[in-house]
């Protein structure tokens, strides 16, 4: 029997004489080998991986898939998106129609059939299921190449040695997955961006407003104001986990109707859950508020008093002076404080763990009331997993976090410099 | 505070632009100046002279309540402006400052364009004119402040791009753009070179046609050259400033009535 004949038998043929016309016309019986069986690995390695998945025809991929997964999984995949426009592979016409006419039709009823690329992904994820047995660091693999090769030949004779970059564009744009080879950080990046946005939108106006009040309006000899000032200074040094507990008590629990969005009709109040990106953002906003207040106060104090006198001497009110002269001259330094606060928000993990960043989530946050995770939280969870591969992608996620931080800071600094120059 | 009222509340006719009666200013418990009685004539230049620390700047700043910006400062006595004590509770200091402008020792233009420097004061004072009218006001103010020829080609450049003397004249233009009645000048030429100083002095002479001017100066020659009246202040033994002598400038410099004045103007102390 030739290799082609075996492949045909495995994938397409329903009758023995389709494989070889000389053979009798008998229906083939296909048995799905258990994942642990050597037969499966043998066939996959010898018949499909020598050629890449790209080389296999679309029909071949579909048959391969249908033959190697359970009927239920196949049906589920088909109802997500059909394999063929004109026929069904795993489901019957009647039951598919029935599901499409139900109150909650699956996506396969409306979507176009799958294409070759998505079939490749499906086969790769469900059938090939590559497993990383062992990984070495770059330096080690460069210097000890021969020893590694020897070890592989000795310990994992059927394994393939491969240079793998963990940090790829796919890694950045893929959602979270329980398969580490397929997991990405898109959900976490979006979560982090939502958190920064909410935290800064909340803390910037409040912080600058408080700084203006304390510097320009409040009577500094007043005992009450002195206590407020001292408290703000101390709050800047409170451990972030304490803010997490505060956020849990206030935003997640006490303000649950608001932070879950149920008062806005986003979710049903009986199932409302305050562990949303809004709660997380507000908690982090609260955490950086003292930092923003203090740096804004410094910035306002640094505006020369001659400028205030010039403005007041012209008959400007206090507010006109603050708005037209003090703020435009302080804004550069204020924004420096805000940029520092932003970096802190991106890097913070502890309060989010307490507030309830999701441990596993693969849907993008699209509203303030969505469940969320953030990059540092994601990294923390991956490093806590026992599998080596999760540690590797955690390393890649750390680099993504640093790049994100760098890009956000650079953008903010660029905008600040442009904006403050225009005022000068 | 009606514009036409020239009758003070105790019924005495007041033909002065502004008048201090028994004015004392305190910084906390410290009395910086005591018992000042001074009347300033309309459309005249009055110079306030005296040794350092005698409180002449403090007196000047109390005329438009700039001392309010110092939290611990407070004034006692009366400052009558159109017959009304400007230290009364019901007087809005912002309104006072709109009508009594100020030029400071160090030129302090706003870090904005030259045009904006002049226009901003008028804008916040309720100037409602069109762009053309504002342009006219800016030009007129800059002309009145004798700085138009220097800046007419670079109105959109920063006020900081000018020289010190030009900056100070820009500040004067800024002050007169709001059309005040009185202009207070706190050593306006002390940070400038002699030529700029001379130009500022000439400018002050031109401005007195429309404005009452109070000028604090360290420079006795300047007071003698540029003012109509001179008030001489000195520091008392309790470190509080007080008014020694007040007279027409010619009279005070040629025929001082007080021995201290004579010693000061002849350079024997201060």
Q: Estimate to the nearest angstrom the gap between the alpha carbon of B180 and the chain centroid.
A: 11
pLDDT at B3: 42
pLDDT at A50: 55
pLDDT at A43: 62
* B214: enclosing H helix or E strand: strand B212-216
Contact A312 B124 (CB under 8 A): no
User: DSSP state, A31?
Assistant: -
Of B97, B109, B111, the CB nearest to A313: B97
Distance in Å from the first CA to the final CA of chain A: 84
Of B69, B111, B178, the CB nearest to A314: B178
> Which residue of chain B comes nearest to A311, CA vs CA?
B121
Which residues of chain A approach chain B closer than 8 Å at the C-beta? Answer: 219-221, 304-317, 320, 324-325, 328-329, 423-424
Residue A220 with chain B: CB contacts under 8 Å: 71
Q: Is A360 exposed, middle or buried (0-12, 13-18, 19+ CB in 10 A)?
A: exposed
Which tens digit of pLDDT belongs to each residue from B150-165? 898 999 998 888 988 8
pLDDT > 70 in chain A, percent: 92
Contact A310 B108 (CB under 8 A): yes
CA distance B61 to chain A (A): 10
Which tens digit of pLDDT belongs to each residue from A160-205? 777 778 888 888 888 888 778 888 899 999 999 999 999 999 999 9
Of B102, B111, B120, the CB nearest to A313: B102
Which residues of chain B approach chain A closer than 8 Å at the C-beta? Answer: 64, 66, 69, 71, 94-95, 97-99, 101-102, 104, 106, 108-111, 120-121, 124-125, 158, 171, 174-175, 178
Of A221, A308, A313, the CB nearest to B101: A313
Contact B94 A315 (CB under 8 A): yes
pLDDT exceeds cutoff 70 at A413:
yes
Distance in Å from the first CA to the final CA of chain B: 40
pLDDT exceeds cutoff 60 at B189:
yes
Residue B95 with chain A: CB contacts under 8 Å: 315
Residues A378 and B111: their CA atoms lie apart, in Å, by: 47
Which tens digit of pLDDT belongs to each residue from B39-88? 998 999 999 998 888 888 999 999 989 988 888 888 899 999 988 899 88
β-pair type (B100-103, B73-81): unpaired
pLDDT at B4: 43
> Which residue of chain A comes nearest to B180, CA vs CA?
A314
The owner of tokens 């950086």 is A288
pLDDT exceeds cutoff 90 at B231:
yes
The answer to whether A259 and A278 are in contact (CB under 8 A) is yes
Q: Report the b/e string of B189-208 with b at 16+ CB within 10 A.
A: bebbeeebbbbbbebbeebb
Residue B111 with chain A: CB contacts under 8 Å: 307, 328-329, 423-424
CA distance A420 to chain B (A): 11
Contact B124 A307 (CB under 8 A): no
CA atoms within 13 A on the CB side of A292: 28
Of A312, A316, A325, the CB nearest to B66: A312
Q: Is A297 exposed, middle or buried (0-12, 13-18, 19+ CB in 10 A)?
A: buried
> Which residue of chain B comes nearest to A221, CA vs CA?
B71
CA distance B184 to chain A (A): 10
Contact A306 B104 (CB under 8 A): yes
Contact A316 B174 (CB under 8 A): no
Q: Please, which pLDDT band fits residue B11 given cuts at 50, 70 and 90?
A: very low
The answer to whether B102 and B45 are in contact (CB under 8 A) is no
Of B69, B106, B178, the CB nearest to A315: B178
Of B98, B108, B124, the CB nearest to A309: B108
Task: Output the six-digit token pair for A351.
Answer: 């309060």
Mean pLDDT value of segment A86-95: 81
Q: Which one of B102, B116, B159, B176 makes the best mutation probe of the A interface by having the most chain A beta carbons within 10 Å? A: B102
Residue B94 with chain A: CB contacts under 8 Å: 315-317
pLDDT exceeds cutoff 90 at A154:
no
Contact B108 A306 (CB under 8 A): yes
Its pTM stands at 0.76
Task: Output the six-digit token pair for B3.
Answer: 């514009």
Q: Taken in order A258, A261, A263, A267, is the CA torsion positive or negative?
A: negative
pLDDT exceeds cutoff 60 at B13:
no
ipTM given for this complex: 0.85
Mean pLDDT value of segment A116-141: 80
The answer to whether B95 and B88 are in contact (CB under 8 A) is no
Higher pLDDT pick, A137 / B211: B211
Tell which residue, B193, B15, B109, B75, has the closest CA to residue A325. Answer: B109
pLDDT exceeds cutoff 70 at A39:
no
HEC string for A115-126: CHHHHHHHHHHH
Residues A413 and A46: their CA atoms lie apart, in Å, by: 56
Of A308, A313, A324, the CB nearest to B120: A324
Of B66, B99, B158, the CB nearest to A309: B66
Q: Which one of A219, A222, A302, A310 makes the best mutation probe of the B interface by having the most chain B beta carbons within 10 Å? A: A310
Higher pLDDT pick, B205 / A71: B205
Which tens digit of pLDDT belongs to each residue from A348-404? 888 998 888 777 787 888 888 988 889 999 999 999 888 888 888 999 999 999 999
Q: Taken in order B242, B246, B249, B251, is the CA torsion positive or negative?
A: negative
B139 CB-near residues (< 8 Å, 6+ apart)? B148, B152
Residue B101 with chain A: CB contacts under 8 Å: 313-315
């Amino acid at each position: 029997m030739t290799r082609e004949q075996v492949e045909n038998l495995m994938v397409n043929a329903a009758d023995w004489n389709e494989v070889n016309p000389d053979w009798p016309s008998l229906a083939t019986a296909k048995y799905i080998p258990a994942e642990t069986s050597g037969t499966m690995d043998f066939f996959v390695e010898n018949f499909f991986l020598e050629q890449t998945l790209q080389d296999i025809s679309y029909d071949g991929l579909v048959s391969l898939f249908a033959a190697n997964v359970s009927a239920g999984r196949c049906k589920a995949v088909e109802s997500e998106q059909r394999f063929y426009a004109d026929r069904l592979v795993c489901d019957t016409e009647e039951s598919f129609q029935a599901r499409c006419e139900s109150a909650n039709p699956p996506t396969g009823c409306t979507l176009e059939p799958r294409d070759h690329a998505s079939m490749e992904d499906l086969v790769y994820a469900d059938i090939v299921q590559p497993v990383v047995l062992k990984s070495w660091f770059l330096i080690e693999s460069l210097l000890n190449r021969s020893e590694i090769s020897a070890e592989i030949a000795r310990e994992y004779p059927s394994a393939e040695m491969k240079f793998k970059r963990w940090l790829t564009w796919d890694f950045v744009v893929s959602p979270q997955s329980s398969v580490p080879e397929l997991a990405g950080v898109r959900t976490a990046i979006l979560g982090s961006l939502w958190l920064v946005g909410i935290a800064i939108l909340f803390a910037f106006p409040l912080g600058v407003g408080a700084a203006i009040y304390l510097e320009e309006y409040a009577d500094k000899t007043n005992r009450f104001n002195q206590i407020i000032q001292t408290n703000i200074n101390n709050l800047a040094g409170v451990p972030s986990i304490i803010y997490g507990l505060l956020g849990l008590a206030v935003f997640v629990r006490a303000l649950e109707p608001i932070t879950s969005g149920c008062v806005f009709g986003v979710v049903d109040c009986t199932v409302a859950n305050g562990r949303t990106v809004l709660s997380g953002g507000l908690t982090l906003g609260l955490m950086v508020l003292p930092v923003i207040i203090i740096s804004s106060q410094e910035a306002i104090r640094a505006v020369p008093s001659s400028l205030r006198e010039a403005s007041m001497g012209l008959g400007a009110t206090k507010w006109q002076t603050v708005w037209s002269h003090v703020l435009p001259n302080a804004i550069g330094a204020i924004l420096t404080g805000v940029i520092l606060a932003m970096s802190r928000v991106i890097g913070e993990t502890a309060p989010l763990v307490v507030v309830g960043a999701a441990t596993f989530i693969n849907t993008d946050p699209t509203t303030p009331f969505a469940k969320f995770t953030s990059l540092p939280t994601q990294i923390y969870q991956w490093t806590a997993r026992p599998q080596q591969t999760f540690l590797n992608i955690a390393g890649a996620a750390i680099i993504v976090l640093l790049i994100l931080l760098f890009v956000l800071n650079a953008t903010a600094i660029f905008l600040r410099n442009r904006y403050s120059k225009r005022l000068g | 505070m009606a514009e036409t009222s020239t009758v003070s509340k105790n019924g005495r006719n007041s033909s002065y632009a502004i008048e201090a009666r028994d004015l004392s200013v305190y910084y906390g418990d410290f009395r910086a100046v005591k018992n000042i009685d001074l009347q300033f004539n309309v459309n005249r230049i009055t110079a306030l002279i005296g040794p350092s620390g005698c409180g002449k700047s403090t007196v000047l700043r109390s005329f438009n309540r700039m001392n309010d910006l110092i939290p611990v400062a407070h004034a006692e006595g009366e400052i009558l402006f159109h017959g009304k004590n400007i230290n009364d509770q019901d007087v809005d200091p912002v309104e006072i400052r709109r009508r009594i402008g100020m030029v400071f020792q160090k030129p302090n233009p706003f870090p904005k364009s030259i045009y904006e420097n002049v226009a901003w004061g008028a804008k916040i004072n309720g100037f409602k004119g069109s762009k053309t009218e504002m342009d006219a006001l800016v030009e007129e103010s800059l002309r009145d402040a004798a700085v138009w020829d220097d800046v007419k080609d670079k109105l959109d450049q920063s006020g900081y791009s000018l020289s010190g003397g030009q900056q100070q004249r820009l500040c004067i233009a800024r002050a007169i753009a709001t059309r005040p009645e009185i202009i207070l000048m706190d050593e306006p030429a002390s940070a400038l070179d002699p030529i700029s100083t001379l130009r500022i002095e000439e400018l002050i002479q031109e401005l007195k046609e429309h404005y009452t001017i109070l000028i604090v100066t360290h420079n006795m020659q300047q007071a003698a050259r540029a003012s109509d009246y001179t008030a001489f202040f000195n520091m008392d033994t309790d470190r509080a400033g007080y008014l020694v002598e007040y007279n027409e400038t010619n009279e005070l410099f040629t025929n001082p009535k007080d021995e201290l004045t004579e010693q000061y103007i002849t350079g024997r102390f201060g």
